[in-house]
Chains A and B, each alone.
Chain A
Amino acid sequence: MGSKYRFRSLNKYLNPINESLLAGAIGLAIGAIIMVGLGYSPLDAYSSLLRGSFGSVYSWAESLANATPLILTALTFAIAMRGGLFNIGAEGQLYIGAIAAVSVSLIQISAPFHLIIALVAAMTAGALWSLPVAILKLTRGVHEVISTIMLNWIARFFAFYMIANVLMDPVRGEKTISIAETSRFARILPGSSLNYGIVVSALAVLLILFLLWRTTAGFELRAAGHSQESSNYAGISYKKQVLRAFLLGGVLAGLAGAVQVMGRPPTYALISGLPQMIDLGFDGIAVAMIGRNHPVGIIFAAIFFGGLMVGGRMMQMSAGVPLELVRIVEGAIILALAVPELKRIFYVVRKKFARKEQRGGN
């Protein structure tokens, strides 16, 4: 196989991008087949998908707004994955982060500090919710899949309790008190959902990039993820590495919750049932995997994923495609993304076509 040699060339960088683009195309093709089968026009559907997601400044803003929390929850997953750990706890940690951010609005602090304190509170809360995962793993050998799934549910009910009984709005009981004006992220584009919370996500990406590839801690984490045995041999502390991955992950997930509730208009409060938070953590896993667990890849994946959500709206509106079908198309794209070998199949088919063309030409 030539793949070993390809990695040495410029293709090292182009390959994953290509794969992703091709997978996207294949996914769209599968979606188109389904739509034709069901009597919808895929052309209408996809042109409205594109228009809806990236067709105007407004739709770009919405796509970026969707990407904002996803970048953070994806980083949570990716950091752990880089260290060989499977952390699916972002979902619960982000609820707790959001609760912490709202709690800070119980007190009054002057402008810049209020926002900063809320963010710090959310980061701390997220890390604290993540801490048991690391401790249970290190002391009792509890696998993180089990502890994170359980803690996600516990966080959900805890958040329900806080919303209904502690932080509730005295007038509008279906939500918590609003985030104080001094603690909100301003909007970037009026009328849209995009806000300066995205700066937090961007900074987090830069920080993680630096951390993973320019510091010893990052090297140790990646080494441990690569091979547990050899990193032990090199004297890298397993304990340190597990703690780092989960605490840092918790900080990021907590931030995701905070950014969402402090920045995403129009409510600036948590609603009972957490409808604006649910699934952000799980979607982050999909984003991280599409982005190949690389911070830069995650940015693109998050924008792509966020764009799909926005474009899905336009598909419903102007092509009449129900949201359920939009989800099917999304699922098909992600399935296609999972399989690098699809590319090979594509090349084989293309080669055959090329041969046919040649024959036709002769």
Chain B
Amino acid sequence: MEIEHLWPILFISLHAMVPITLAAIGEIIEESAGLFNIGLEGMILISALAGALGAEYFGSAIGGLLVGAGSGAVLGVIFGLLNTYGRGDQLITGVGINLLALGFVAFMLINLGAAGFHSVPRDVQIKLIPLGVGSLSPLVLVTILLAIIVYWVLNRTQLGIRIKAVGENPAAADVAGIRVNAMRLGAAIVAGALVGLAGAYLSVDWFGSVTKEISAGRGFIALAVVVFSGLNPLLALFGGFIFGFFDGFATWVSTYPKIKDIIPWQFVAMVPYIVTLLVVAGVIGRVRFPKALGIPYLRE
């Protein structure tokens, strides 16, 4: 393997990091507030579609990203309402969103045309930044920035303390005058917008198309990254990157003819998962979650 191949692998890793990390940061906000959403996969899927359509409708990539984020926020409203004032079961809601999205996106794609995928015209896709050694999506920078901002908000501001209070001890937060359900709903909406941005990135930037299974398990990887991070957005950035790196690296390396003779591709494909597991077991270890995570708040 030649040294100049390191650059493209680095860019692949960064590009693969974006959707996982954005969704993970969203989930971190939500979980900090006590909501556990396993519907990330479905939300990414729907926003990918919405983002593609939005980009076309407004004739701009930014428009597409905003529509994607907006559709994610709408799903966040639904999830938030059902699980705060509706006192719903968060796990079931998440599973429901995943199932609904799978049907909805496939159904819409068929109704949009016969081909089963929908493509975003070149001129309304995100323009990559040419860096000489390769091209980088501006969303990579946005993701890094968002991770830092969310970290700062959660750990250094009054708002962050309130969000965490709601997740940690909602009854006490309530007594202290924080409106628990409103706070959780707000967290769910912001989280939804971030997850939606992750979906729109897939269609408007990374692939330039939507297919019915475009998310391909990234929502679940993001869930794992959230656990990996222990609700720290900066660690989620790192987690998304190492997963993206090993995923890209594994695929990359297994196109080399000689590698195939040594290791079957199935074992190469396992690498990102094994590495993630090893990193968590070896470095990260035990993480602590908010006490009231997953529990609807009922005022006594």
B92 CB-CB contact with A under 8 Å: yes
Q: Is the CB of A161 within 8 A of B264?
A: yes
Q: Nearest-CB distance from A68 to chain B (Å)?
A: 20
* Residues of B contacting A: mostly: helix
Q: For chain B residues 133-148, which have a beta carbon within 8 Å of chain A?
A: none
Q: What is the total number of residues of chain A having a CB less than 8 Å from a CB of chain B?
A: 43
Q: Is the CB of B270 within 8 A of A328?
A: no
Q: For chain A residues 110-151, which have a beta carbon within 8 Å of chain B?
A: 136, 140-143, 145-147, 149-151
Q: Is the CB of A149 within 8 A of B224?
A: yes
Q: Is the CB of A342 within 8 A of B270?
A: no
Q: Is the CB of A146 within 8 A of B103?
A: no
Q: Chain A interface: which of B49-57, B60-68, B80-88?
A: B80-88
Q: Of the candidates B103, B224, B270, B287, which one forms a contact with A331 in the assembled complex, judged by CB atoms under 8 Å apart?
A: B103
Q: Is the CB of A338 within 8 A of B99?
A: no
Q: Is the CB of A338 within 8 A of B93?
A: yes
Q: Is the CB of A143 within 8 A of B110?
A: no
Q: Is the CB of B95 within 8 A of A147?
A: no
Q: Is the CB of B91 within 8 A of A289?
A: yes
Q: Is the CB of A143 within 8 A of B287?
A: yes
Q: Is the CB of A165 within 8 A of B264?
A: yes
Q: For chain B residues 3-26, which have a beta carbon within 8 Å of chain A?
A: none
Q: How many A-B residue pairs have CB under 8 A?
A: 143
Residue of B nearest to A132 (CB): B277
Q: Nearest-CB distance from B250 to chain A (Å)?
A: 10
Q: Is the CB of B285 within 8 A of A142?
A: yes
A165 to B264, CA, bound (A): 9
Q: Is the CB of A150 within 8 A of B88?
A: no
Q: Of the candidates B86, B95, B107, B282, which one forms a contact with A286 in the assembled complex, judged by CB atoms under 8 Å apart?
A: B95
Cβ contacts under 8 Å, B256 to chain A: none
A167 to B285, CA, bound (A): 37
User: Known contacts being A154-B274, A332-B96, is A341 close to B88, with CB within 8 Å?
Assistant: yes
A200 CB-CB contact with B under 8 Å: no
Cβ contacts under 8 Å, A141 to chain B: 285-287
Cβ contacts under 8 Å, A149 to chain B: 220-221, 223-224
Q: Is the CB of A136 within 8 A of B93?
A: no
Q: For chain A residues 295-338, which have a beta carbon within 8 Å of chain B?
A: 322-335, 337-338
A154 to B224, CA, bound (A): 14
A322 to B107, CA, bound (A): 8
A339 CB-CB contact with B under 8 Å: yes
Cβ contacts under 8 Å, B221 to chain A: 149
Q: Is the CB of A146 within 8 A of B95?
A: no
Cβ contacts under 8 Å, B267 to chain A: 157, 161
A337 to B93, CA, bound (A): 8
A290 CB-CB contact with B under 8 Å: yes
Q: Is the CB of A324 within 8 A of B273?
A: no
Cβ contacts under 8 Å, A164 to chain B: 266
B253 CB-CB contact with A under 8 Å: no
30 contacts between A and B (CB under 8 A): A136-B281, A140-B281, A141-B285, A142-B280, A142-B281, A147-B277, A149-B221, A150-B276, A151-B273, A154-B273, A157-B270, A161-B266, A285-B95, A324-B104, A325-B103, A327-B104, A327-B106, A327-B107, A331-B104, A332-B100, A335-B82, A335-B93, A335-B96, A335-B97, A335-B100, A338-B89, A338-B93, A339-B89, A339-B93, A340-B88
Residues on B close to A: CB < 8 A? Answer: 82-83, 85-93, 95-104, 106-107, 110, 217, 220-221, 223-224, 227-228, 264, 266-267, 269-270, 273-274, 276-277, 280-282, 284-287
